[in-house]
A and B are shown apart, each in its own frame.
Chain A
Amino acid sequence: MISLRHVSKWYGTFQVLNDCSTEVARGEVVVVCGPSGSGKSTLIKCVNGLEPFQKGEISVDGVSVGDPKTNLPKLRARIGMVFQNFELFPHMTVTKNLTLGQVKVLGRSMEEATQKGLKLLERVGLSAHKDKYPGQLSGGQQQRVAIARALSMDPIAMLFDEPTSALDPEMINEVLDVMVELAKEGMTMMVVTHEMGFARKVAHRVIFMDGGAIVEDAKKEDFFGTPRSERAQLFLSKILQH
C-alpha cells in the first residue's frame, strides 16, 4: 500500500532523512518512533507529499508521490492525515470541518456530506458538539473531530503525526481508543507516536528512527523483545521505565 524506497531529504545542506526504505501493507499498522529530531514527522509528511524529498521514491497504492505529473490533491484526498496540533479550521463549526473536504474535493452533496460527517462524529462520541467551533472543545475532543474529518474522506490509509503529543495526559486515552478501534477494523495506519502502549496493543510493526535514518524495522514482538540496535534498546529502556 505505502512503499518508501531510499528516501533522502535535505534542508539546504542539512540532511533530515537518510536513505529510508520501508513498506506498509494493506491493513497493517506501523508505529514509527524515535527521539525528537530523528525525522519521523518529516518522513510521514513525505508520504502524502506535504514535504518534498530530493531522492528516492514513495508510492501510495501504486501512485508515485514524488512524480511531478501526479495529481497530488487527488492522491492526498485518499490518504487521511491527523496532525499533532489537530489543525481543525477554527473559523468553521465542527460540522463544516467535517463536510468541507467531502463537498469541495469529493463533490458530495451538502446533505450527503453532513449525514456522513454526523455519523462519524457519533462514532467518536461527539454528536452533541456538532455546532460548536473547534476552540470550544478540549484538545482530546478536537483531535477526535480531526480523526473523524480524515475518515470522512473514506481514506485508503491513515497517517498520524504524533496525535497525542499535544494533549493533556487525561485526554490521551480517548484519542488512542478511537485509533485502536480503527486499527482493529483493519485500517492501514502509519503512526508516529511515543505511545508504546498503543504500539504493543495494535501495531504489527515498529520502525525506530534516529538521525534521519531507519535504524530498526521489526515485528512488534521482536522490537519489544530484543531490539537489535543499541540505540533502540537505549530509547526503549528510557521510555519504558515510567
Chain B
Amino acid sequence: MFEGYDFEVIERSLGYLFRDGMVFTLTLTGLAMTGGIIFGTLLAMMRLSSFRPLSALAGGYVNLMRSLPLVLVIFWFFFLVPYIGAWVIGADRPIAVGAFWSAVITFTMFEAAYYCEIMRAGIQSIARGQVWSGYALGLNYWQTMGQIVLPQAFRNMTPVLLTQTIILFQDTSLVYVISATDFLGAASKVANRDYRLVEMYTFVALVYFIMSYSLSLLVRRLQDRIAVIR
C-alpha cells in the first residue's frame, strides 16, 4: 500500500520542520495570544463602558474584525502596515516590517476581537454585587477591575480562552499567504522540493492533530481544577 511513498523525507527534514517551522508557529501563537488577550480585555472593558462613544468604538472594531476573513486581514495588514509605520514615524518610504512581525500584529489585532467577546462574557458573569463591594471599600474603577473583576473573569474564562488559543494555533498556518515559513510552510517547501506532498501533508496533519487534541484534553482537565469555590 505504501509502495512509491518515501516517509523518510520526514525524518530528513525534521530539524528544519521543527527548528524553523514549529518555532515560528509557536512564537507567533504565544505572542498573538498574549497581545490578543491584553488588547481584547481592554476592548471588553471599553465595550462594557457606560460612555457611549467608547463602547461604540470597541463594538465597531470587534464587529469589523469578526466580519472579515482572516486571510484577507493577513494580506491587508501585510501590505498596509509598512505604510502605516512610515506614516507614524514620519519616514518617506514604507518601512520593512517583515512577514513575522506583520503576522504578529495581524493575529493580535484579529484575535483580540474574539478574546474580547470571551472576556466580555467573563466580566459580565461576575455579579454586580462584587463591583459594588469593591467600590464600597473605596477602590476606584481600575482597582476594582484589576483586583476583583478581572481575576475572577480570567479564572472563569480560562478554558474558553485556551480553546480560542488552540484555534489561533491552527489559524497561524494561514501565514503561508505571505510566504512566511511556519510549520505548515516549512513542510510545504520540503514537499514541493522533493515532490513528497502526500507524505509531508499527512505528517503535518498528524502533528497538528496531536498538539491540538492534547491541548484540548488539558483544557478539560484544567476546567475542573481552577473553578473558584463559591
List the B side residues contacting A133 at CB < 8 Å. 229
A-B residue pairs in contact (CB < 8 Å), sample of 24: A50-B132, A76-B136, A76-B137, A77-B137, A80-B136, A81-B133, A81-B136, A83-B133, A85-B129, A87-B130, A87-B133, A89-B133, A89-B152, A90-B152, A90-B229, A100-B139, A104-B139, A105-B137, A105-B139, A134-B229, A135-B230, A150-B137, A153-B137, A153-B138
List the A side residues contacting B137 at CB < 8 Å. 76-77, 100-101, 105, 149-150, 153
Minimum Cβ distance to chain A for residue B189 (Å):
47
Minimum Cβ distance to chain A for residue B87 (Å):
39
Interface of B is mostly: helix
Q: Identify the B interface with A (CB < 8 A).
A: 127, 129-130, 132-140, 143, 147-148, 151-152, 155, 228-230
Q: A91-B155, A153-B137 are in contact. Are A135 and B130 (CB under 8 A)?
A: no
Q: Are B152 and A50 in contact (CB under 8 A)?
A: no
- A48 within 8 A of partner (CB): yes
- A136 within 8 A of partner (CB): yes
Q: Identify the A interface with B (CB < 8 A).
A: 45, 48, 50, 72-74, 76-81, 83, 85, 87-91, 100-101, 104-106, 133-136, 149-150, 153
List the A side residues contacting B134 at CB < 8 Å. 89
Add 7 more A-B contacts to A77-B137, A87-B130, A91-B151 (CB < 8 A). A45-B132, A50-B135, A72-B135, A89-B147, A89-B148, A101-B139, A105-B138
Minimum Cβ distance to chain B for residue A95 (Å):
15
Q: Are B132 and A76 in contact (CB under 8 A)?
A: no
- Docked Cα-Cα span, A100 to B139, in Å, equals 9
- Docked Cα-Cα span, A88 to B139, in Å, equals 14
List the B side residues contacting A76 at CB < 8 Å. 135-138
- Docked Cα-Cα span, A72 to B141, in Å, equals 11
- Docked Cα-Cα span, A90 to B127, in Å, equals 11
List the A side residues contacting B132 at CB < 8 Å. 45, 50, 81, 83, 87
Q: A83-B129, A85-B127, A87-B129 are in contact. Are A50 and B136 (CB under 8 A)?
A: yes
Q: Are A104 and B147 in contact (CB under 8 A)?
A: yes
Q: A73-B140, A76-B138, A81-B136 are in contact. Are A135 and B129 (CB under 8 A)?
A: no
Closest to B143 in A: A104
| A-B interface contact total, Cβ < 8 Å | 74
Interface of A is mostly: mixed
- Docked Cα-Cα span, A210 to B229, in Å, equals 38
Q: Are A100 and B147 in contact (CB under 8 A)?
A: yes
- Docked Cα-Cα span, A92 to B132, in Å, equals 17
Q: A73-B138, A153-B137 are in contact. Are A136 and B229 (CB under 8 A)?
A: yes
Closest to B132 in A: A50
List the A side residues contacting B230 at CB < 8 Å. 90, 135
- Docked Cα-Cα span, A4 to B151, in Å, equals 36
Q: Are A48 and B136 in contact (CB under 8 A)?
A: yes
- Docked Cα-Cα span, A104 to B152, in Å, equals 18
List the A side residues contacting B130 at CB < 8 Å. 87, 89
Minimum Cβ distance to chain B for residue A204 (Å):
24
With most chain B CB atoms within 10 A of its CB, the pick from A76, A79, A89 is A89
- Docked Cα-Cα span, A87 to B127, in Å, equals 9
List the A side residues contacting B133 at CB < 8 Å. 81, 83, 87-89
**Closest CB pairs A-B (n = 10):** A77-B138, A135-B229, A87-B133, A101-B137, A81-B136, A105-B138, A87-B129, A73-B140, A76-B138, A73-B138
